[in-house]
Amino acid sequence: MAVRWSLNELAQLGIDELPVDAVLDVKKAVKERNAQVQDVAPVKVSGVITKDQRGIIATIHVATTVTLPSSRSLTAVAVPVAFTFAEYYVSEHERDLSRFTNDDVVIQPEHDVVDLETAVAENIVLHLPLKVLSPEEEQGGNFQTGDDWQVVSEEQLTSQRQETVDPRLAKLKDFFADENGDKN
């Protein structure tokens, strides 16, 4: 199935919608856009391209698996990515875009050619998670340590802060105990 169409070709479609169902290899394009991506599985793409009063709109569902480094240990983690995006395509020569709202994603493709591979690659990069953890790291274990440092969870940090008394304030603890008649 072709995944590149000119806007003119899409506007002249005799049908109301063009179904899209393809498997794309966008690994190179995604890795060019995000250097942390280690691998991208073949991408399953499905959806429709339709015409409405405002222009050509593509509503596409994307499903793939992207391999990214763990945010904590840098080990490779396969992350499933699935989402749906919708984009309007209008001629690069068109200047009046007032018919669109601020929520509409409007693309003016170069040379008026809609390239679905490019759109899918860009949207995959936009939908990558910022925090990536391996299954072991998600379960709370596997914290890294080094000379004079260690990674701790927020719960551990909070309990350490509660147990630790600022040495400058330690004497005040005894002062208030004497005043109340209580000796620890």
- Structural tokens at position 105: 């994603």
Number of CB atoms found within 10 A of residue 121's CB: 24
> Element (H or E) spanning 155, and its range?
helix 154-163
In a structure prediction context, what are the per-residue pLDDT tens digits for the chain, which is 184 residues long? 568 778 877 777 766 788 999 999 999 999 999 999 999 999 999 999 988 778 888 999 999 999 999 988 889 999 999 999 999 988 888 788 888 888 888 888 888 888 899 999 999 999 999 999 888 888 866 566 777 887 777 777 787 777 776 777 767 766 666 555 555 5
Q: What is the pLDDT of residue 124?
A: 97
Q: What is the pLDDT of residue 5?
A: 79
Query: Any idea what DSSP says for residue 41?
Result: P
Q: What is the pLDDT of residue 120?
A: 95
Q: What is the pLDDT of residue 179?
A: 57
d(CA 69, CA 75): 5
Cα angle value 74/79/85 (rounded, 5°): 130
d(CA 106, CA 97): 9
Q: What is the pLDDT of residue 44?
A: 97
Q: What is the pLDDT of residue 39?
A: 96
pTM above 0.85, yes or no: no
